[in-house]
Amino acid sequence: MTGWLEFIAALAVFMLSHMIPVRPPVRPWLIARLGVRGYFAAYSVLSIAVLVWLIVAAARAPFIPVIPYHPVLLWVPLLAMPLACWLGVAGLAAVNPLSFGGLGRGRFDPDHPGILGLTRHPLLLAMAVWAFAHMLANGDLAHVILFGLFAGFAAAGMALIDRRRRREMGQDAWAQLARNTGRLSPGGLRHLRLSPAILLAAAAVYGILLWLHPYVIGVSPLP
């Protein structure tokens, strides 16, 4: 029971930590005191810390099998995470007025959307890939709840951000910028220009995650 109580507490704190700091009037109040960079830095550190606690709490919860175990499923995260790392790094490096996370400089060109041609929400898609792969590899009730929640959050987030951006920009301006993008559009692969620097950075992130996994999560990701 203690394991379930910790998991429920961590899940509640995670949800509250992502709901309260971003809502008015809390967000403007925090930005006024911390500055924009300070706000995002503090929010990122808090999110990562609570996420680590949530994952550890899920591992401590009683084991109740939901997805039948198969050794092949242990390879799913190892094969899917390079894609998730690439989506995350490319999404951060992009110029993206249509979603969050794009830190690239310059002006977004809707005729050459880059990774946004594949998905205008690369960070959320990376989260969905990470969550679904780890849900299959673990398969117990706590992890199905945990990773299923993240996958659902990613899918719902895409729709919510689209609606918010459309409202903020106006329908015509949003449609003009988003005309060659999609929430998930395999046809957008034609717009991709694979950058060696992005691929190298994604490989480095993947390697760091493999190395840190046993120390942070307590379990080796290798089958």
Burial class, 87, CB count within 10 angstroms (exposed 0-12 / middle 13-18 / buried 19+):
buried
How much helix, strand and coil, in percent to the nearest 5, is found in the chain? 70, 0, 25
Distance (Å, whole) CA 115 – CA 95 = 10
Q: pLDDT, tens digit, for every residue of 120-130?
A: 999 999 999 99
Q: pLDDT, tens digit, for every residue of 58-101?
A: 888 888 999 998 999 999 999 999 999 999 999 988 888 988 77
- pLDDT band with cut points at 50, 70 and 90 for residue 48: confident
* Dihedral over Cα of 57, 61, 63, 65: its sign: negative
Q: Provide the whole-model pTM.
A: 0.85
Q: What is the mean pLDDT of the chain?
A: 87
Place of tokens 């220009």: 193
